[in-house]
Amino acid sequence: MSKKVPRRPSILAVIAIAAVVAIGGVLALRWVEMSADRAGGVSSGRALIGGPFALNDQTGKPVTDQDFRGRLMLVYFGYTFCPDVCPTDLQKISAVMEMLGPDADKVAPVFITVDPERDTTDQMARYLSLFNDHITGLTGTPEAIAAAAKEYRVYYQAVRDDASATDYLVDHSAFIYLMDREGAYLTHFNRGDTPDTIVAAIKQRL
Ligand code: NI
């Protein structure tokens, strides 16, 4: 006779699912790039990543994608409670902005939260004070955040921590997107890309 013990999803299962999702995201991006190449330009791939959003910046001011026209955008989705990837990537973006010197004004780094529940305007302001002051932090309603993430094909999913009733992590894709002056996708960077690589890619487009 066996008594059925309710199974909790193991951390390995969670990691496996996250890995599959991450790989799926990478493959999707590859596909976007390949279809752009095949079309002999970037027009077909461009439309797939990026689009309109309407959120609030870290001062509470309403901001849309239109406010960044005329500048290149570095778009990154993450959250301020992220223990690992986001601080590293925001440091990377900060280094890029410093290395750009006077050209920094031609580039708008945009950090969009995937955790609007905890990332209030004040929280975003506090957190971004630790990084380069060019960075615009955007938050909004869960619906507005979901819409923005969908435009950028960003995956995110809250993962409850069994050890705590209130804490949770948010799995999320962590690409830094480089968008052109009209908000169209140019390329993206991931963990392997250094600030030098990113600066070089930006300078090609200035
Ligand atoms: Ni993160």
Distance 91 CA to ligand 1 centre (A): 12
Least confident of 10-24, 46-60, 128-142, 143-157: 10-24
Phi-psi region of 152 (alpha: psi -120 to 50; beta: other; left: phi over 0): alpha
Residue 131 contacts residue 93 (beta carbons within 8 Å): yes
Residues within 5 A (CB) of ion ligand 1: 78, 82, 85-86
pLDDT digits (tens, 9 = 90+) for 3-48: 455 455 565 555 555 555 555 555 555 554 444 433 434 444 455 8
Residues 161-193 have pLDDT tens digits of 777 767 899 999 999 999 999 999 999 999 999
Mean local confidence (pLDDT), 81-94: 95
Distance CA 128, CA 166 (A): 23
Q: Answer whether 135's CB lies under 8 Å from 110's CB.
A: yes
Would you say the pTM of this structure is higher than 0.85? Answer: no
Is residue 152 a contact partner of residue 116, using CB atoms and an 8 Å limit? no
Task: Average the pLDDT over each of 36-45, 90-99, 121-130, 195-204 and give the range with the smallest value.
Answer: 36-45
CA of 181 to the centre of ligand 1 (A): 26
b/e string for 93-109 if b means 16 or more Cβ within 10 A? bbbbbebbeeebeebbb
What is the DSSP-derived secondary structure letter of residue 39? Answer: T
C-alpha 84 – ligand 1 centre gap (Å) = 6
Query: How far apart are alpha carbons 206 and 179 in whole angstroms?
Result: 12
Distance 85 CA to ligand 1 centre (A): 5
For all residues of the chain together, what is the average pLDDT?
A: 86
